[in-house]
Structure 1
């Protein structure tokens, strides 16, 4: 299946999703914004991600990833999340792949600085404790009338089999708010394994929201990373 065949299906899915879902929101699927969960509140989020090694051959090759998140607002600036992760390789069995712990802290107040800053930290581990990943992000975001911009420089350290690996990555996005519920935009992401670009659409407010985005390879992709990814995030306030 080629990009030309994927494109109309993706556009139709985005349009259908935006017309039926209402709730609170995230504007992007790869990029984080200047937001934390409200004090004393909680949210359930489900991440559904499809990964294809080659753009021109999707049949029998797509890996499906499910991330289940429970997010808790600890105070007005700090929140904490627990993730349980599951994966099903193409033609393989559905299996538990690990867990993740995440913390975010907002600095200052919105529009206090040139860019609104937030610190993001996460730890990812496997059930047998053979692999450990530490990741830090600096979240910088800004609203300009109906436009929103965000950039996330990322630093990652991975420990596995006694070896340590470092990687610098990035996520960035820009979106336009069409109305109180609907936003459309574009995201770019990448690192040493390659770079991606794709559209994103999000819809919702208050208690129920959805975001859908894709990532198409811009450059040569190495180290067995996917050439194409599609992600949908569904959030429900508890």
Structure 2
């Protein structure tokens, strides 16, 4: 099990961006999140959301996919460029799984389907903020072939060239790299990388593993680890060579 040496506390107030054009839903989200002590900025369209994000930092953004001006997926992509450290959670009523996968690949960290249950929403927000505010694990640089993972600086390099990873991609790679060759259950990865009290779909995990595989493959060398899928169990980091 991944050792944790620091007691992590969730900030009492976080800066949240809600991107939702539906007045009823947006008003309910703003009221509920504010009631829980968060500083909430509600944008009714994608362009307003991007303008707000350029003007101030946010800890987490809730982004509706069905916006009147810009597609929510495009908003996620541009938010990632403007505020790379902001956690993004997609809110969607779309039933096509590909929409969710495309959104996650565009920069989102998680998703919730509408109608959103407020209890689950608050649990997810606490989980993400807890992970982002903490320092987990030891700080020694991990080396697997040409792959170097530095937890202190949160940098990953292959043969000296930096590999750009999103927040959860880095956390997931670090978690697997701490136990190379060990089969890690899906539930363990969700607990360690997302939150011990996580509930809901684990499709997020699969999408992040797929993204990691692609980025490791772009290194163009067999001297980096690969990630194996263990059906019905989880994943395993295979050391190079």
User: If each structure's strand is expressed as a fraction of its own residues, which one has the higher value?
Assistant: 1
- For normalisation by structure 2, the TM-score amounts to 0.27
Higher normalized contact order (CA 8 Å, seq sep 6+, divided by chain length): 1
User: If each structure's helix is expressed as a fraction of its own residues, which one has the higher value?
Assistant: 2
